[in-house]
Amino acid sequence: MDVLKDILDNLSDSITIIDDHGQIVLFNDEAERIHKLLFETPLVIGAVYLDLQTPERRKIVEEIIDTVRRQHTPVKNFAEHRTLTGTTTFLELNFVPIMGRNGALRYINVIAHDITSRKIFERKLRSATADMQKVLDQAYAVVINIDAQGYVIDWNEHVAAVTGWSKREMLSQRFREVLLDEANYSQFDVLMSEITANRPVARIEIPLRTRSGGEATVALSATPRLNANGHVVGATLVGQDITELCDCKRQLTDFKEATVQDVQTEPTPKDAQTAEMKSHFISIASHEFRSPLSSIDYAANFIKQHAGRIGRKKLNEKVAVIEKHVSYMSHLLEDVLNYSRAEHDRIRVVTEPVCLRSFIREAVDEATAACRHSHAVKVCADNPGVLQTDRKLLRNIISNLLSNAIKFSPEHSEVQLTVLHDDHAVTFEVVDQGVGIPPDELDAIFEPFVRGKAVNDIQGTGLGLSIVKRAVTLLNGTMNVESAPGEGTAFRVTIPHP
């Protein structure tokens, strides 16, 4: 027995042997160590094994021992214990029958394996997975999981917002039958054939059918998902809603064709100059869309390829990149649409009382958030009061001026917004410490599509100031600018009280 005890003491698992009456006949050092962690009463030979169990565990262990006695087969069980010091220990217990030569049960070997570290790791892994799932669910990007037959097994909140179909409605539905028109089946079939062959798909543009019967165009990239044996079990589709971008692209194309036709029919110098400016704008806009789309595509692909290995911090960084560029594209589209409305006299002035204090605070918060707080905006306004004006037009003015001031100023520099008011009007002054504007360019900065030579390398379309000028005119206001190269710029807008 001493030799057996020495052998058992060298095992890493806890070993407790009980006879067919349930009394302990032998235990090793690991069993004694675990017992001391859990109980104040000592572990001794001859003790009844059931008497050492907690009230919560006694009934369970009694049933397990009875099963082993009747069936002569091993039984596995998991137990969670609170130690005497208040910590939690997890044990994997195996009750193994030891039979005599006559086939009768002689002993039950209770083997306990401490799996606390594994359980803690599993909980942390589940928590991290839940956090990652939450980030993906709330990401401003299309994230869809499908199986190898094309059935939807998961999708995030943004897809639901784009399509109108909730996750509950789409789970276990075939992607193409619910979301695609028959004309686009072949495009999706090609995508699935690439996935089945374990080949990622870089980027496709595909129109999705919305719940309301409309259409939303998304740019998707697909990465095959593999099981432990390396077999393709589905794919993760990640992308962006580009419906507005596609609409804008069509408008720009139509705009360019119409401009070229106008120039061909009436080739006057002024028309030629206008066509050149608009063509230049289309080139700029195409570039401005392409850059953020490339960044979005890169970040989305990174998430797809490393989703199982990257931490929450890195995932948040990539999602932030996507959100930043989506925000930029949204502002770009807003500029294009505002300019288009102004060109066709579609802007209707609707006045309302605007509390300038809260209005300015919101405009500054939006501007600093858009630049990721790379610049400070100092506000000088002493109880600016209320202005009866068109809120949207005023927002276009202030937002564009602040955005330009931040865009053309050195990083971490300060932009100042001053609000002056009297009984007749309210004056907004935005002053930056940026590159400044040469005197020979001052007269042209309010023309659409025009950009200064010194800022060609900075993102922009040349529409912002023309939108500001148009908005100021619609509000019966005045505007002037003071600037010098290398000394910054000051824009002053005065809006009269009605």
The predicted structure's pLDDT at residue 267: 53
If one compares 316 and 81, the residue with the highest pLDDT of the two is 81
Average pLDDT score, the chain: 82
117-127: pLDDT as tens digits? 888 888 887 77
Instruction: Answer whether residue 464 shows pLDDT above 70.
Output: yes
Highest CATH level, class, for 121-243? alpha beta
Highest CATH level, class, for 245-343? mainly alpha
Lowest-confidence range among 60-64, 204-208, 292-296, 467-471?
292-296
Q: What percent of the chain has pLDDT over 90?
A: 34
If one compares 303 and 31, the residue with the highest pLDDT of the two is 31
Instruction: Answer whether residue 341 shows pLDDT above 60.
Output: no
Give me Rg for the CA atoms of the chain: 35
- pTM listed for this prediction: 0.41
Tell me if the domain spanning 352-496 has CATH number 3.30.565.10.
yes
Q: Within the chain, which residue ranges are assigned CATH 3.30.450.20?
A: 2-114, 121-243
State which of 209-213, 285-289, 290-294, 319-323 shows the largest mean pLDDT: 209-213
Strands 414-421 and 376-381: parallel
The predicted structure's pLDDT at residue 287: 44
Q: Within the chain, which residue ranges are assigned CATH 1.10.287.130?
A: 245-343
The predicted structure's pLDDT at residue 426: 94
Lowest-confidence range among 39-43, 91-95, 367-371, 493-497?
367-371
The predicted structure's pLDDT at residue 281: 53
Highest CATH level, class, for 2-114? alpha beta
If one compares 283 and 317, the residue with the highest pLDDT of the two is 317
Instruction: Answer whether residue 135 shows pLDDT above 50.
Output: yes
Query: Residue 337 — pLDDT band, cuts 50, 70, 90?
Result: low
Instruction: Answer whether residue 340 shows pLDDT above 60.
Output: no
H/E segment holding residue 423: none
How far is residue 399's CA from residue 493's CA, in Å, rounded to a whole number? Answer: 13
Q: Tell me which amino acid residue 60 is.
A: I
Query: Residue 495 — pLDDT band, cuts 50, 70, 90?
Result: very high
Instruction: Answer whether residue 95 shows pLDDT above 90.
Output: yes
Query: Residue 129 — pLDDT band, cuts 50, 70, 90?
Result: low
Residue of 31, 19, 25, 8 whose CA lies nearest to 91: 31
The number of beta carbons lying within 10 Å of the beta carbon of residue 132 is 18
The predicted structure's pLDDT at residue 171: 87
From the number of C-beta atoms within 10 Å of its C-beta (0-12, 13-18, 19+), residue 36 rates as middle
Instruction: Answer whether residue 356 shows pLDDT above 70.
Output: yes
Q: Within the chain, which residue ranges are assigned CATH 3.30.565.10?
A: 352-496
Contacts of 24 (CB under 8 A, 6+ apart): 16, 17, 18, 43, 44, 45, 46, 47, 48, 49
